[in-house]
Structure 1
Amino acid sequence: MQIRDMMVPLGEGVELEVRRIQQKEPIGPVLVFLHESLGSIALWRKFPEKLAKATGCDALIYNRQGYGHSSDEELPRPYDYLEVAGHQWLPRLLDKLEISEVVLIGHSDGGSIALVAAGAMGDRVKALMTMAAHIYADHLTLAGIEEMAVRYRETDIRDRLARYHGNRTDDIFNAWQTVWRDEAFQAAMDFSRWLAAIECPTMIIQGENDEYGVPEQVTDIVAGIGSNAQGLLLEDAGHSPHLEKQDQLVDLLYDFLRSESLPKNCN
């Protein structure tokens, strides 16, 4: 596999930092990874490479606006920032890179964006997998953010995040916790309207011990999508099962792609 990093201009003064993992002879659609609220390309660690190698598919990982070397984002974040990322900027990035068919893999905020994108992009999305996605603000999410705000002030969390986000660390953290602690944002957040339009095979995953989301997020997402969706609460896993149970997740998603969505492609 070849790994290439690049900047991709998308118009309106926006450039996104992109990493492409490309096979000599790629099979099937491109795996597209969407990072969490405090995440980045690097914080996916080896998960994208392992899944690309297992499936034979190419992979695309990118930093949203405000992250890494991507363009600055609008601050404070508008209430619809996650939806705009899914129905506007992701399709625009795929168009620019001339990628016609994708499998979306999203974690946390990236999972929510993936749900929106799958609802917006129709049959361009061949399969969808989310980990710790949320379609509304629940009490565990809000309590987890409150706790993280304290840890950010009182522990070495800021220094650890700064290894990846550099001088943008405070901006990224404050943008995240400020909008999520806004009661008007909490009241407005409802991604359920995107779910019925998702037609591809879908797997909704959450760790049983996820401190940022109630298990009803899984059941409600699956119910909103319908019979083409399946849910899984993963034992002994928290908010980041792709890191905590990496090899298990690679095997799980590989089997899902083979059996449910991509016969004759990723196998």
Structure 2
Amino acid sequence: MQNAAVETPTSHFADLPATASHGPLRIEYRWLNDEAADTTGNATSHAPIAVFLHEGLGSIAMWRDWPQSLCERLGMRGLVYSRPGYGLSTPRPHHVKWPVDFMSDQARDILPALLDELDIGLHERRRMWVIGHSDGGSIALLYAALHPDALAGAVAIAPHVFVEEISVQSIAQTKLLYETTDLRDKLARYHADVDSAFYGWNDIWLNPAFRDWSIAQQLATIRKPLLAIQGHDDNYGTMAQIDTIPEYVPHAQLVKLDACGHSPHRDAPDRLNEAIAAFVSRYR
């Protein structure tokens, strides 16, 4: 069932060609900071780029104003986009199930293809920071591992490195809420096809085949600066998620936030911005 997600005046769309992992895609994206893009959506500024990767049920609109506030703090341009299946990007066909390695597909194929379409060359990518939350945090880690020279650094906020029982239980509870409360109506404001968005995410996380999913060993190829952040009250994962990262990326730095749940950009935005700004400033 299609929904009336609102298209904003500042959203643009990029058409990506089909590959072995996906068909043709239309990706909703937006540049942040007025001087960063012209009226066609092309970048014009020479400031470094921060690319934002949203959570499993996220979209451009669901970020709200946090990416803008962080970009202002960092003095960077920002690129936010809705991943396939979310926001106003191409919906997931209802009969299609995300594969177990769907996050690897996003990091290996989708993000690089979007950067190509937006004419973001290797020189700019080497100055680019990739910042992701939840599933987007996992994709940020995978991008840094799969393209170790095509970024300046990465920030992973509440990433999933492997599957924990607490994650599965919380996601199962979210399915119950989606089907019995007004959660579906709330999410419909942010997605052109809310059922496609929700069940694409929910079905793969509750798939028994996904229980063995782990990206821990893949992280060993990360060479650029890496910051991982998590709240102590995260109900989608324990601190074991980010504590695992330095076992494979010894130079990774960790920040653990008190009185903070799964979404630090909503629960503790000032502390989150401070931690990211302090980290990034060491490498600017």
Question: Does the pair score TM above 0.5?
Answer: yes
On the 8 A contact 1:108/1:131 being kept in 2, the answer is yes
Query: Which residue of 211, 226, 239 maps to 1:186?
Result: 211
1:199 maps onto 2:223 in alignment: yes
Residue aligned with 1:92, SS? helix
* TM-superposed deviation, 1:56: 1.4
1:92 maps onto 2:113 in alignment: yes
TM-score by length of 1: 0.91
Residue aligned with 2:152, SS? strand
On the 8 A contact 1:115/1:194 being kept in 2, the answer is no
* TM-superposed deviation, 1:28: 4.3
CA deviations on 1:119-155 (whole Å, 9 max, x unpaired) are 1112221111111101111111011111111111222
TM-score by length of 2: 0.86
- How far, CA to CA, are the matches of 2:272 and 2:86 in structure 1? 25
Kindly tell me the number of residue pairs found equivalent between the two proteins.
256
* TM-superposed deviation, 1:73: 3.1
CA deviations on 1:154-183 (whole Å, 9 max, x unpaired) are 2221111111124x1112111211111111
* TM-superposed deviation, 1:27: 5.8
Where does structure 1 lack aligned partners over 5 or more consecutive residues?
A: 263-267
Alignment correspondent of 1:15 = 26
* RMSD of aligned alpha carbons: 1.6
On the 8 A contact 1:130/1:203 being kept in 2, the answer is yes
* TM-superposed deviation, 1:243: 1.1
Query: Which residue of 48, 54, 59 maps to 1:29?
Result: 48
- How far, CA to CA, are the matches of 1:56 and 1:29 in structure 2? 8
Query: Which residue of 202, 209, 223 maps to 1:177?
Result: 202
Alignment correspondent of 1:248 = 271
Q: Which piece of structure 1 moves more, 62-71 or 103-112?
A: 62-71
The structure in which a higher percent of residues are helix is: 1
Residue aligned with 1:15, SS? strand
Query: Which residue of 66, 78, 83 maps to 1:64?
Result: 83
* TM-superposed deviation, 1:29: 2.3
* TM-superposed deviation, 1:72: 2.9
1:159 maps onto 2:165 in alignment: no
Q: Which piece of structure 1 moves more, 21-30 or 194-203?
A: 21-30
* TM-superposed deviation, 1:23: 5.4
Query: Which residue of 230, 235, 247 maps to 1:211?
Result: 235
Q: Percent identity at matched positions?
A: 35
